[in-house]
Amino acid sequence: MRNYIYSFFNEETRLIESSLRILLGAVVGFLLLLCTSFIALSQTVNTKKERSVSYYKLSFENRTGDLTDTLFYNPQRLLVWSDFKAAPRATSSYSAAAFTGFGYTGKIRYSNDTAIIAIRLEVYFIKPFSWVHENSKNNYALAHEQRHFDITYLITERFKQRLLETDLDADYDSIIQYQYIQAYREMNRLQEKYDNETRHGLIESEQERWERQVKAWLDGIKD
C-alpha cells in the first residue's frame, strides 16, 4: 500500500504581515520539498505491479472533526469568534483574518488489474493564525470570514470533480498534483475577487450578492 500527502496553506495576503508571510513561505517550501521527496521515493514501490494495472479508480472522503488548533470544514459547524486565537494585528486596517487552506492525503491499493486511489480531502481553518479585533466581533463580519472558509471548501470540491472527470494512468501522482496546484491558484483568485468586490465586506450590497452566489455554488456541488 502506498501513502502520500500534499498540502498548501492559503494565507490571505491582505491580512498577513510581511514577516509572517516570509515564515509561512519557508514552512510551505519545506513541506513541499518533503512531500515531493516522499512521493518520488514511493514511486519505486510496487513498480512491477503498477505495470500490470489496466484501470485506475478514485474514491474520496472529507476529513471532519476538530483538532486543538485546527478546524476541518463542516457545513454544520460554522466559525465562531472564539476560533480566532491569534493576537490582532495592531498595524492592520482590517477587522479580522481567517487563515484557511486545503490539502489531501492518499492511499493506493490494488485489486486484480485495478488501482484504487483513496483520497482524503482536508479543508482547514488554523486557529492560531486567525485573528479579530475585539471591537469588530459582530455577526456581519463573522459571516464575511465564514464565506472565505466556504470558498476554500468550494474549490476543494471543484478539485475533486476535475479529478473524477480525468482519465488517470500510471502517472496519476503528477496528474493529481497538477490539478491540485491549479485548484490552489483558482482559490487565491476567487478569494481575492471576493475581497475586492466587497471591499473586504464594507460594501453591504456586494457582500449580500456574494452570500447568495456562494450559497448557490455550494448547493450545486455534486454528491
- Tens-digit pLDDT profile for residues 143-166: 999 999 999 999 999 999 999 999
Nearest residue to 70 (alpha-carbon basis) of 85, 87, 89: 85
- Rounded to the nearest 10°, the torsion over CA 31, 40, 42, 30 is -10
Residue 31 has what pLDDT? Answer: 56
- % residues pLDDT > 90 (the chain): 72
CA distance 148 to 94: 15
